[in-house]
């Protein structure tokens, strides 16, 4: 019985590739086993269950996205950094749709605590530095950034905007410009 030299990392990498190629929902332990030429049950020596595989893809995707964001915002500030950061997200979502979909799942506790997640947060804060927001407002701004960018990409990915015609790109630019406006005219805390 030849050993297939499986490792958790190899399984997760294969899952990420399968997700991008055939869709997030096509990732099953059975499908992965077929790719490695072993029986499905054999994979459980290396991964706890399907959910653990997808958690791994989630962390992998966070790391890759952080890499791309770091490159995109390096040497840029203010609106330019915002545009570049958002563009990195959009390019990633388009080029790696399965990986991106893994990011939409609830994050496991270990993922929340991962170095990759911390990097994404740090990069968001670095980008926001150019807007000179009060310290206490940074968490709110970070959440708005994530919500708007991710929300737009999710709607785009599920076809809510109809066919990808020029108007969607215009909408994208407008959305990022609107974010820039919001950050520059940040609404202070109100009595409510």
110 binds, among DNA, its own copies, none (CB under 5 to 8 A by kind): none
161 binds, among DNA, its own copies, none (CB under 5 to 8 A by kind): its own copies
Q: Any alpha helices (H) in the chain, and if so which ranges?
A: 8-22, 29-36, 50-73, 78-95, 97-103, 109-112, 115-128, 138-157, 166-184
Nearer to its own copies, 28 or 150 (CB): 150
> How many CA atoms are closer than 13 Å to the CA of 139, on its beta-carbon side?
1
Q: Could you give the CA distance from residue 94 to residue 120 in angstroms, rounded to a whole number?
A: 19
Q: Could you give the CA distance from residue 81 to residue 135 in angstroms, rounded to a whole number?
A: 19
- DSSP label at 83? H
**Residue 160 in contact with DNA, rule: CB under 7 A:** no
Nearer to DNA, 101 or 116 (CB): 101
Which x/- pattern over 130-159 shows residues binding its own copies (rule: CB under 8 A)?
-------x-xxx-xx-xxxxxxx-xx--xx
Taking each helix axis as running N to C, give the angle between helix 8-22 and helix 50-73, from 0 to 180 degrees, rounded to the nearest 10. Answer: 80
In this structure, the dihedral spanned by the alpha carbons of residues 94, 149, 185 and 178, taken in order and rounded to 10 degrees, is 50
Query: Of residues 32-61, which lie at the interface with DNA (CB under 7 A)?
Result: 37-42, 44-46, 49-51
Nearer to DNA, 5 or 192 (CB): 5
**Residue 177 in contact with its own copies, rule: CB under 8 A:** yes
Closest by Cα among 161, 122, 160 to 142: 122
Considering only residues 75, 104, 113, 128, which one is a binding residue for its own copies as defined by CB under 8 A? 104
Considering only residues 71, 115, 160, 164, which one is a binding residue for its own copies as defined by CB under 8 A? 160
Query: Of residues 44-83, which lie at the interface with its own copies (CB under 8 A)?
Result: none
Q: How does DSSP assign 98-146, residue by residue?
A: HHHHHHTSPPPHHHHTSHHHHHHHHHHHHHHGGGT--GGGHHHHHHHHH
Q: Binding residues for DNA, per CB under 7 A? A: 1-6, 28-31, 37-42, 44-46, 49-51
Q: Binding residues for its own copies, per CB under 8 A? A: 104-107, 112, 137, 139-141, 143-144, 146-152, 154-155, 158-162, 167-168, 170-171, 173-175, 177-183, 185-187, 189-190, 192
């Amino acid at each position: 019985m030849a050993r297939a030299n499986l490792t958790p990392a190899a399984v997760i990498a294969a899952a990420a590739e399968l997700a991008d190629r055939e869709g997030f929902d096509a990732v099953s332990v059975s499908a992965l086993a077929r790719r490695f030429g072993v029986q499905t049950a054999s994979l459980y020596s290396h991964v706890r269950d399907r959910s653990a595989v997808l958690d791994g893809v989630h962390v992998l995707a966070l790391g890759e996205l952080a890499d791309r964001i770091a490159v995109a915002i390096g040497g840029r500030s203010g609106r330019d950094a915002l545009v570049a950061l958002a563009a990195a997200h959009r390019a990633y979502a388009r080029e790696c749709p399965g990986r991106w979909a893994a990011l939409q799942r609830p994050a496991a506790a270990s993922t929340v605590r991962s170095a990759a997640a911390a990097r994404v947060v740090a990069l968001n804060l670095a980008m926001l530095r150019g807007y000179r927001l009060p310290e206490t407002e940074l968490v709110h701004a970070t959440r708005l950034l994530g919500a708007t960018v991710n929300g737009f990409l999710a709607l785009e990915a599920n076809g809510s905007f109809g066919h990808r015609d020029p108007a969607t790109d215009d909408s994208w630019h407008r959305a990022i410009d609107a974010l820039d406006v919001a950050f520059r005219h940040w609404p202070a805390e109100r009595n409510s």
